[in-house]
Amino acid sequence: MPKKFLGIFKSILGSIREPLVVLDPDLKVITANNAFYHTFGASPDETEGVLIYELGSRQWDIPKLRELLEEILPQNTSFHDFEVEHDFAAVGSKIMHLNARRIHGEGNQTQLILLAIEDVTEREYYKRHLEKIVEQRTVDLSTATQAAEKNRQAAEDALFEVSKLKDQLEAERAYLQEEIRLVYNHENIIGKSDTINYVLYKIEQIAATDTSVLILGAR
C-alpha cells in the first residue's frame, strides 16, 4: 500500500472504536488502530510487520483463528461473528466475535484483510448463564411460595385449634350447668309459697356462678 494511502487509512482506522487489524495476504500485520493497541496492551513497533500468530508472545496463535483465516476466509469474501474464546495475556479470558473482509486488488487477488474484533464476553456470559439464572430464580420463587403456603397452613391450623378449644369450652360449660342443675335440683323441695318460689328463683340465677349467697328468712 502506498504510504500516502496508508496515512489516510490509519486516520480512518483511528475513528473506529472496536479493535481492528489490517493484514497483508501473508497474514502479517500492516497496521492496527488505537483501540487494538489499547485493548491488548500492544504497540505499533511490536505489531506492524509481524505475523498475526506471533503477536504478544503468540497469544493470537489460536486454532480457531487459524481455521478462520486459512480455511474459511479464502473461500469467502467476508465472514461475521466468528466466535473465539481465549485467555489473553493482557486482558484475561475473553470471548471475541471476529469479523473479517478481504479487499481485492488487480486480478481479484487479495490485497488486504480487515479483521475487526468485538469483545462480547459479558453478553455471551449472560446468555450462556441465563438458563442457570432462570433456574435459580425459579427455585427462589418456589421456596418463597412454599414458605407462604406453610405460613398460611399454620394460620389455618391455629384457627382450627381455637375453634376446637371453643367448642370444648362450650361443651364443658353445658356439662357444668347440667351438673349444677342436678346438684341444686329443687324440684323435690316441698313448698309452694311465694317466698320459697322467690328463693328458688334466686338460686337458679346464681347457680352457674361461683358466688356466696346469704339468705335471710322472715321471723
Q: Looking at the predicted structure, is the pLDDT value of residue 4 above 70?
A: no
Higher pLDDT, 198 or 157: 157
Calculate mean pLDDT across residues 104-127. 80
pTM of the predicted model as reported, rounded to 2 decimal places: 0.53
Higher pLDDT, 193 or 61: 61
Q: Looking at the predicted structure, is the pLDDT value of residue 218 above 60?
A: no
pLDDT of residue 51: 94
pLDDT of residue 53: 92
Calculate mean pLDDT across residues 16-30. 89
| 3-120 carries CATH number 3.30.450.20 | yes
Position 191, amino acid: G
pLDDT band, residue 83 (cuts 50/70/90): confident
Calculate mean pLDDT across residues 151-178. 82
Range with the largest mean pLDDT of 51-65, 67-81, 173-187: 51-65
Would you kindly state where each structural domain of the chain is located, as residue ranges? 3-120, 130-206
3-state SS string for the chain:
CCHHHHHHHHHHHHCCCCCEEEECCCCEEEEECHHHHHHCCCCHHHCCCCEHHHHHHHCCCCHHHHHHHHHHHHHCCEEEEEEEEEEECCCEEEEEEEEEEEEECHHHCEEEEEEEEEECHHHHHHHHCHHHHHHHHHHHHHHHHHHHHHHHHHHHHHHHHHHHHHHHHHHHHHHHHHHHHHHCCCCCCCCCCHHHHHHHHHHHHHCCCCCCCCCCCCC
Range with the largest mean pLDDT of 24-28, 83-87, 92-96, 102-106: 24-28
pLDDT of residue 215: 64
Q: Looking at the predicted structure, is the pLDDT value of residue 177 above 80?
A: no
pLDDT band, residue 137 (cuts 50/70/90): confident
pLDDT of residue 103: 82
Q: Looking at the predicted structure, is the pLDDT value of residue 50 above 90?
A: yes
Q: Looking at the predicted structure, is the pLDDT value of residue 28 above 90?
A: yes
Residue 116's CB is within 10 A of a number of other CB atoms, namely 19
pLDDT of residue 52: 92
Q: Looking at the predicted structure, is the pLDDT value of residue 94 above 70?
A: yes
Q: What percent of the chain has pLDDT over 70?
A: 72
